A and B are shown apart, each in its own frame.
Chain A
């Protein structure tokens, strides 16, 4: 499984765009990049998944460069309720999904 590296913590203010970058130099051909969000005292929740280029949904955007060795989760106009831990995971969801390993994640703190 590809190892991921992401910042331990980030601070932001309400209304700003937040970009969290994840490095995954050893990503394999069949690997996808998936991001989860975890609020205190809750289980993680799926945010977005992508393979290459850009993926956007109602919550976030995921930017993946051509070499796929990194990815950036973009949260537009964050609010206080976006304060959470964000996990970047890399793996093949078809053959290795059940081996999903969560690192320490990035703790995002949004201030008023």
Chain B
């Protein structure tokens, strides 16, 4: 049981290049999220999804796009990378919170992106 897997783990881009981060979860979770974390700061929500085929904006969505074509995968795209997007990106997933389920977030190990 791998949990939440992010690829790639490291990437260096030049300004203006595009790339996609892939998040895969094998826990059959409905919800998936993309966060970014800058040095010494907490996590900020970029986009999230409440189910296959649905996405929504979080706190800092500008410059990013997402897609959830399959329940287990959540893709984060940067169409034209900027130095301000240098950060560590975390994907997370969770179940619908009900009964004894706390709605706990399960995180991946992170993807470190540097934009030159």
Q: Collect the chain A residues with CB atoms within 8 Å of residue B107's CB.
A: 42-45
Q: Collect the chain A residues with CB atoms within 8 Å of residue B109's CB.
A: 41-43
Please determine whether A93 and B102 come into contact, CB atoms closer than 8 angstroms: yes
Who on chain B is nearest to A36 by CB?
A: B105
Please determine whether B40 and A104 come into contact, CB atoms closer than 8 angstroms: yes
Stretch in B11-19, B41-49, B61-69, B79-87 touching the partner:
B41-49
Asked whether any CB of chain A lies closer than 8 Å to the CB of B94, the reply is: yes
Q: Collect the chain A residues with CB atoms within 8 Å of residue B26's CB.
A: none
Asked whether any CB of chain A lies closer than 8 Å to the CB of B103, the reply is: yes
Please determine whether B103 and A97 come into contact, CB atoms closer than 8 angstroms: yes
Asked whether any CB of chain A lies closer than 8 Å to the CB of B33, the reply is: yes
Q: How many residues of B contact A (CB 8 A)?
A: 30
Who on chain B is nearest to A103 by CB?
A: B42
The verdict on A102 contacting B110 (CB below 8 Å), with A43-B90, A94-B97 known, is no
Asked whether any CB of chain B lies closer than 8 Å to the CB of A87, the reply is: yes
- Total inter-chain residue pairs, C-beta < 8 Å: 64
Q: Collect the chain A residues with CB atoms within 8 Å of residue B103's CB.
A: 93-94, 97
Asked whether any CB of chain B lies closer than 8 Å to the CB of A46, the reply is: yes
Q: Mark out the residues of chain B between 8 and 52 whose CB falls within 8 Å of any chain A CB in the assembled complex.
A: 31, 33, 35, 40-45, 48, 50
Distance, CA A102 to CA B13, complexed state (A): 27
Q: Mark out the residues of chain B between 83 and 116 whose CB falls within 8 Å of any chain A CB in the assembled complex.
A: 90, 92, 94, 96-98, 102-110
Distance, CA A46 to CA B41, complexed state (A): 18
The verdict on A99 contacting B58 (CB below 8 Å), with A43-B110, A105-B42 known, is yes
Distance, CA A32 to CA B104, complexed state (A): 12
Who on chain B is nearest to A43 by CB?
A: B107
Please determine whether A98 and B43 come into contact, CB atoms closer than 8 angstroms: no
Distance, CA A105 to CA B96, complexed state (A): 25
Q: Collect the chain B residues with CB atoms within 8 Å of residue A101's CB.
A: 44-45, 59
Identify the A interface with B (CB < 8 A): 32, 34, 36, 41-46, 49, 87, 93-94, 97-105
Known: A36-B105, A98-B48. 6 other contacts (CB 8 A): A46-B104, A97-B94, A97-B97, A98-B50, A102-B35, A104-B41
